[in-house]
Structure 1
Amino acid sequence: MWFNVILFMTIVSTYVQGDAERIVKLRQGRVRGHLDPNGGLYSFYGIPYATAPTGIHKFKAPLPGPAWIDTLDAVDNRTLCPQKDFMGLMPESLFDIKEDCLVANIFVPATKETNLSVVIYVHGGAFVIGYGNWLSYKALVRSKKVIVVTFNYRLGAHGFLCLGTDDVPGNAGMKDQVALLRWVNQNIANFGGNPEEVTIAGYSAGSVSVDLLMLSKSTKGLFKKIIPESGASLAAFSIQTDPFENAKEFARLLNYTGSNSIASLEDFFKNVSYESLTSINVLARLDSTFLMSPCIERSNSGEAFLTDSPLGIIKHGLYPKIPTLYGFTSMEGLVRLPLFDQFKDAMNKNFQDFLPPDLKFQNDEERQAVAQKVKEFYFGNSNIDSDTILEYINYFSDIIFTYPALRTVKYHVEAGHDQIYLYEFSFVHDDLPKIPYTNIRGADHCSQTYIVSDGLNATMNNDRLEEMKPIIRTIWANFIFTGKPIPEDSELPPWPPVGKNWSPHMSIDLPLSLRGSLLKERTLFWDQIYERHYQQPIPPPASPHLEL
C-alpha cells in the first residue's frame, strides 16, 4: 500500500516542456531530463553534485560542484570513478572513467505532485568498484510516490586511503557521500521531492556506508530513515582496523620501496597515477577485507567523517536512533563461491589465514587455537571439500555479513534503539542455479536488493519471482513512507521491531513468516570470540616523519 506524505512546501522552480522532457532550475543552472522510453518517469543523468580534486590533491574532501550557463542536457550515464573492471561488468567501450566523477542521477515520476518522498541509494562493490547506475529503481519511481537518487563516489585508494595528514586525511569517498546528501537537501525540492522526507538505502558496501552515515555527525538532519541491505558498520571490511598498516601493504603491492614514514608514503601516493591506484585486485584476499575502506580519522583532519569507532558511538548512544530496516540474505556467503576451489585447500592447511583481521591474539598459539575452534564449529572433524560446501558458505556468510549485522543490532538495542526491523531474506526460485555438489538453491548476497530494484536480469520471467516483487517492494515502500515495513492496516503479517536476542525477525519468503531469534547459536559463538579478541579500529599515527 502506498501512503501520501502531506507536508507544506513552497512552490518549486520546475518547468515542464512538453511530454518528452522536463527542465529543472537548480542553484548551479538548469538541467534537462527526458521521459523514459517506457514512460512513467523522467531521468536526469550525470548531474555534477560536487567536484573531485585531482592531481596531488586527489585524496582531499570534495569541492563544490560546477555552475553552468546553458541548460545541461542530463543524458550522460557513462561516467565512472577510477576503478579496474576486475569482474568484467564494466567494459571500457560502454563507460567513461574520469577523475572528476562525482555525478548524481535523479529519477522523477511523471507527475505534477510535489512533496514526494526521496530515496538515495548508495551502490556497493567492496568500496573498490561500482557506480550509481549499477542498479536501477524505476519500478519504485513508477509508483508516482517516490524520487530515487543514485550517484558515484570515489573508490579504492582514491576514496579511502587514510594517512591522517592534511592532504590525505581519509574517507574521501564517504565525504563524497555526505556532499551528495547535502546537495539533495538543497536541490531535491526543485524536482518535486521533499527534503524533509529522505531515506538512504544501500547494498553491500553501500549498506555499510548507510550504517556509517547514520553514525557520522556530519550528516545531522539530512535523512530520516535508513535501509542497510547486506552490510554492517561492525564488519571487518567496513572499517580499516589499522589504516597505516593497510597503506604500507597497498604501497608494497604497487612496488613501493621507500621508507615506512607517513611523509614518504604520502609523497608516493600523491604522485602515483590513477591507473596504478586501481591496478591492484584485492577482491580475493583471504581475510575477506579489501584494504581500502572507511577509517577512523584523526580529530585534527578538518571536517572529519568519523573520529570514533562505530562500536564506541553505538555503545554510547551518540547517534540519531531513526527507523532502520535491517537485514541480509540466508546465504550471503555465496559471494565467496567462485573462490571455493582456490580457498578450500588453503583453509585446510592454514585456517587461521581466513580469520577476520579485527581479531587480535597474544601469540600465534592463541591464534591457532581460536582458528581450530572456529573450524571445528563449522566443519567438525571434516575436511573443507565438496561435502562441506554449505558449511563453507555459512562460514563466509557469518564473518563478512551476518554476524557483523547481528552484533550491530545487539548493541543498537542495548543503546535503546527501538525502531529496528530485522529480516532474513531466504526467497529462491527455480531459475536460480543450484549450489555445486548439492541440490539446493540459496539466496545470494544482496538478493533482496535485486528484487527491490529492477534487477540485474530484468528479462527473467518466473512466477514465484513475479509474486515476490510486489510484496518486497511494498514492504520497502511502506518503510520509506511510514518508518514501518508493515503498517497496522496491512494484509501482511504484523512485524514489530527487534528486541533482545535478535527476536523477532521477519523471514522474507513466500509466504512471509514472523519468527524468533535469528541465527542465535552462530551469533553467540562469535560473541564469545569477539568479547575476548576484538581489536578496535585506530586512526593513523600522528608522526608523519617517524618511520613506523
Structure 2
Amino acid sequence: MTVRYSPSVYMQTHALYLLILIVNVLVCHSKIVRTNNGPIVGQDRGNYETFFGIPYALVDEENPFGRSLPHPDFTTPFNATDSSVKCPQLVPTESGILQCLRLNIYVPKSTNKNIPVFVYIHGGGFIFGSAGEYDAKHLVQHEIVVVTINYRMGPYGFFCLNTDTVPGNQGLKDQVTALRWIKRNIAAFGGDPDKVTIAGESYGGGSVDLHLYSENEKLFDKAIIQSGGADAEALIVEPNNNAAYTLAKTFDPTVKIQDALSLLAKQDPIEVMKAFRSSGMLLRACEERKQPNKKIEYFFTANSKALHCPLKVSGTHIMIGYTSKETFADFFKLANEAYGRDFFLEKIKNNFRLDEKTTKEAVQSVKSFYLGNKNISKDVMLELIDFTSDFMVNYPAERSVNRFLEQGAMVYKYLFSYIGNSPYKNIEGVGAHHTEELQYLFDWQTAGELRGEDNILMRDRMTKMWANFVKFGNPTLNESDLITVRWQQTSQNTKPYLDIDLQMKMKEKVYQNRMEFWNTFWRKYGKSRMPYPSEPARV
C-alpha cells in the first residue's frame, strides 16, 4: 500500500518538526530553572542570564480591580523571553494588557549561591510605566540578582472603594505579591531570599517608603528611595468610594451603582483608562478602612498612616536622595504656559485647609522667601524650580529621613547633581532633573545609549555604589579610582550627604536655608494640612 502525503499535511509535519527543533535549541542553549512554581527557561546573554515576563499572579478577570489569584504552576518549561508586557496605560502610547502581573530577572553567571537581590519598583505616578523599561544589564555585572516588577495602575490598581472586594491599594498589594513570589522562588535563581533590597524612583520610591509602614510582613532587609517618599505631594489621596460608579456611567449612563464594577470588568482596559483620564479623578494610595469580621488583607490603614513602625524601620539600611533640580525639565516642557500661573497659591490651596486670610498670609510668606519682591515670570524660572522641587520632592524626602532616623534606621543620603548627559546641560543654572540618575543605573529606554568617558564613568560609579549597598548595606566600602570618597551615614545633627557628581563630595545640610524655611512653615501651618490633596500633583 502506498501512503500519499498531501502538501498541507507535509507542511504541517514540517512545521511541527521545526517547532520541536526550536524548543530543543532554546532548552539546550538556555538554563532551565526549577522553581517552586515549575520550570522556567531563560536566555543566555554571555556573562549573565535573563528570565523575562514571568507571571507571578493572575488578574481575576471577573474583578480585575481586586485581589489577584495564584498563577497555576508550570507543568512544562515556561519560555521567559518577553519583557514587553505592560499593565494598561496611556503614556507614552496606549498599550498594556490585563494579565500583566509579570516580573523580569537578571542573574549573573556565578558559581556563588545566595547572591543578594535588588528588586526595582518603577515610577510613573501610578498611571504608567513597566518593568521592561529598566534593563539591568549593567547592575547585574556587580554580582547581584536584579528583579523588575509590573503592578496594576490607575483604576485597576488604585480604586479605593472600602468594600471587601475592592478595599484599595491593589497596585501596592501586587508589589507585595511579587515580593512573596521572590521570597519563595529566588533561591532557584541563585538569589538570597533573606537579602532583598527594594528600590524605586518617584512613585516607585514612594511605594518603597510605604512598604516600611504597611500592614503586611517585612519582605526585604534594605530599601532605596529615589526622588520620592510617603509625604510626596498626592502620593496618598482621599478614598473615592464612588469612583467605579463615576467611570461606569461613561460607558452606560443608566448603570446602577451596584453593577458598576461588573460593567467596568467587561470593558476594554484601554477604554477604561481613557475614561479614567477624562474623569479628572485622582486614584493613588489611600487609607483603607478595616472591616470587622472580613478576611481582607490590608496594606495601608489608619495605623499605617502614622508612619511609625520601628519594628520594620529600626536597623534597616536605607539609601534616600533626590536630584539637584527636580522640576527643571518640567518648566522647559511647559514653556511660556508656566508663567501665567501662581504656583504658590496652587500648592498651598490644594494641600492646606486654611481660611482665605490665612491662605493669603501663607502664600505671601512662601512667595517672599523664594522671589523676594519679584513677580512670576521667565526671569525667575530657577526660583520657581527651587520652590516646586522643594514642595513636591525635596522637603517630603527630608521628612522621610527624619522619620527613619527617629525610628532607628541606618540612613545614607545623597544629592544627584551630575548633568553630563542632560539635554539642558548648556543652559545657565541647570541641574539634574527628575529621573536624571536612572540612565546611569539602567539601560533606560527613554535616555538612549550613553556615550562619552564621563558618562560611562558615572554609570560604572552609580551601579557600583547601588550594588555595594545591596550587598553590604554600605555603598562605599573602600575608596578607589571609581569611588573617591567614603559615604558617611546621616545623623540628625549635621545631616551629611553625598553630592554625586564627577567630583564626589561629602557635604552637610542640603539646601539648609530652604529646608529650615519649610520646617518653620510646617510648624505654623502643618496641623491644617489636608489629609490628602484636593487636586492632582503637577508642576
Structure-2-length-normalised TM-score:
0.84
Q: Which residue of 1 aligns with 2:511?
A: 519
- Aligned-partner SS, 1:332: coil
Deviations 1:172-211 (A, max 9, x none): 1001000000000000011111111111111111111111
- Aligned-partner SS, 1:411: helix
- Aligned-partner SS, 2:341: helix
Structure 2 spans left out of the alignment, 5+ residues = 1-24, 533-539
Distance in 2, matches of 1:492 and 1:195, equals: 32
Q: Which residue of 2 aligns with 1:48?
A: 55
Distance in 2, matches of 1:327 and 1:216, equals: 21
Q: Which residue of 2 aligns with 1:113?
A: 112
Structure 1 spans left out of the alignment, 5+ residues = 1-15, 539-548
- Aligned-partner SS, 1:226: strand
Residue in structure 1 matching 2:415, options 424, 438, 441: 424
Distance in 2, matches of 1:256 and 1:402, equals: 43
Shift of 1:499: 1.5
- Aligned-partner SS, 1:500: coil
Q: Is the 8 A contact 1:329 1:443 kept in 2?
A: yes
Q: Which residue of 2 aligns with 1:341?
A: 336
Q: Which residue of 2 aligns with 1:243?
A: 239
Q: Which residue of 2 aligns with 1:134?
A: 133
Q: Count how many residue pairs are aligned between Structure 1 and Structure 2.
A: 498
Distance in 1, matches of 2:78 and 2:470, equals: 30
Deviations 1:405-452 (A, max 9, x none): 0011122223333x01111011112x422379x424321112222212
Distance in 2, matches of 1:208 and 1:406, equals: 13
Deviations 1:235-279 (A, max 9, x none): 122211x122894997599599789x9868767766665234311
Distance in 2, matches of 1:127 and 1:262, equals: 25
- Aligned-partner SS, 2:310: coil
Q: Which residue of 2 aligns with 1:22?
A: 31
Shift of 1:164: 0.6
Q: Which residue of 2 aligns with 1:101?
A: 100
The residue type equivalent to 2:29 in the other structure is: A
Q: Which residue of 2 aligns with 1:312?
A: 306
- Aligned-partner SS, 1:79: coil
Shift of 1:519: 1.7
Indicate how the Cα distance of structure 1 residues 156 and 111 shifts in structure 2: closer, same or farther if over 3 A, else same: same
Residue in structure 2 matching 1:448, options 431, 437, 455: 437
Distance in 2, matches of 1:262 and 1:353, equals: 33
Distance in 2, matches of 1:331 and 1:310, equals: 31
Q: Which residue of 1 aligns with 2:148?
A: 150
1:78 aligns with 2:84: yes
- Aligned-partner SS, 1:448: helix
Q: Is the 8 A contact 1:501 1:520 kept in 2?
A: no
Deviates more, 1:160-169 or 1:495-504: 495-504
Q: Is the 8 A contact 2:86 2:130 kept in 1?
A: yes
Distance in 2, matches of 1:368 and 1:153, equals: 41
Q: Is the 8 A contact 1:231 1:405 kept in 2?
A: yes
Q: Return the structure number with greater helix share.
A: 2
Deviations 1:489-532 (A, max 9, x none): 76632222211256111111121111111122212222233332
Deviates more, 1:325-334 or 1:407-416: 407-416
Q: Is the 8 A contact 1:502 1:516 kept in 2?
A: yes
Q: Which residue of 2 aligns with 1:484?
A: 474
Q: Is the 8 A contact 2:244 2:261 kept in 1?
A: no
Indicate how the Cα distance of structure 1 residues 354 and 536 shifts in structure 2: closer, same or farther if over 3 A, else same: closer
Residue in structure 2 matching 1:396, options 380, 388, 392: 388
Indicate how the Cα distance of structure 1 residues 257 and 405 shifts in structure 2: closer, same or farther if over 3 A, else same: farther
- Aligned-partner SS, 1:114: coil
Distance in 1, matches of 2:349 and 2:318, equals: 26
Indicate how the Cα distance of structure 1 residues 448 and 281 shifts in structure 2: closer, same or farther if over 3 A, else same: farther
Distance in 1, matches of 2:360 and 2:90, equals: 35
Distance in 2, matches of 1:326 and 1:158, equals: 29
- Aligned-partner SS, 2:198: strand
Q: Which residue of 2 aligns with 1:9?
A: none
Indicate how the Cα distance of structure 1 residues 413 and 250 shifts in structure 2: closer, same or farther if over 3 A, else same: farther
Distance in 2, matches of 1:127 and 1:422, equals: 25
Q: Is the 8 A contact 1:410 1:502 kept in 2?
A: no
Indicate how the Cα distance of structure 1 residues 313 and 465 shifts in structure 2: closer, same or farther if over 3 A, else same: same
Deviations 1:383-423 (A, max 9, x none): 22221111121122112211100011122223333x01111
Distance in 2, matches of 1:125 and 1:530, equals: 28
Indicate how the Cα distance of structure 1 residues 280 and 342 shifts in structure 2: closer, same or farther if over 3 A, else same: farther
Q: Is the 8 A contact 1:295 1:306 kept in 2?
A: yes
Q: Is the 8 A contact 1:127 1:156 kept in 2?
A: yes
Distance in 1, matches of 2:41 and 2:60, equals: 26
Indicate how the Cα distance of structure 1 residues 35 and 162 shifts in structure 2: closer, same or farther if over 3 A, else same: same
1:470 aligns with 2:460: yes
Shift of 1:488: 5.5
Q: Which residue of 2 aligns with 1:176?
A: 174
- Aligned-partner SS, 1:331: coil
1:387 aligns with 2:375: no
Q: Which residue of 1 aligns with 2:190?
A: 192
Indicate how the Cα distance of structure 1 residues 58 and 464 shifts in structure 2: closer, same or farther if over 3 A, else same: same
Indicate how the Cα distance of structure 1 residues 492 and 249 shifts in structure 2: closer, same or farther if over 3 A, else same: farther
CA RMSD of aligned residues (A): 3.1
Q: Is the 8 A contact 2:161 2:241 kept in 1?
A: no
Deviates more, 1:487-496 or 1:459-468: 487-496
Indicate how the Cα distance of structure 1 residues 368 and 249 shifts in structure 2: closer, same or farther if over 3 A, else same: farther
Deviates more, 1:446-455 or 1:478-487: 446-455
The residue type equivalent to 2:348 in the other structure is: L
Distance in 2, matches of 1:400 and 1:253, equals: 33
Q: Is the 8 A contact 1:163 1:266 kept in 2?
A: no
The residue type equivalent to 1:232 in the other structure is: G
Distance in 1, matches of 2:249 and 2:348, equals: 22
Q: Which residue of 2 aligns with 1:209?
A: 207
Distance in 1, matches of 2:254 and 2:486, equals: 61
Q: Is the 8 A contact 2:86 2:100 kept in 1?
A: yes
Residue in structure 2 matching 1:509, options 495, 501, 506: 501
- Aligned-partner SS, 1:30: strand
Bigger Rg, structure 1 or 2: 2
- Aligned-partner SS, 1:100: coil
Q: Which residue of 1 aligns with 2:347?
A: 354
Structure-1-length-normalised TM-score:
0.83
Distance in 1, matches of 2:511 and 2:249, equals: 38
Distance in 1, matches of 2:473 and 2:54, equals: 29
Residue in structure 1 matching 2:269, options 269, 274, 279: 274
Instruction: Tell me the percent identity.
Output: 32
Shift of 1:110: 2.2
Distance in 2, matches of 1:254 and 1:339, equals: 30
1:368 aligns with 2:360: yes
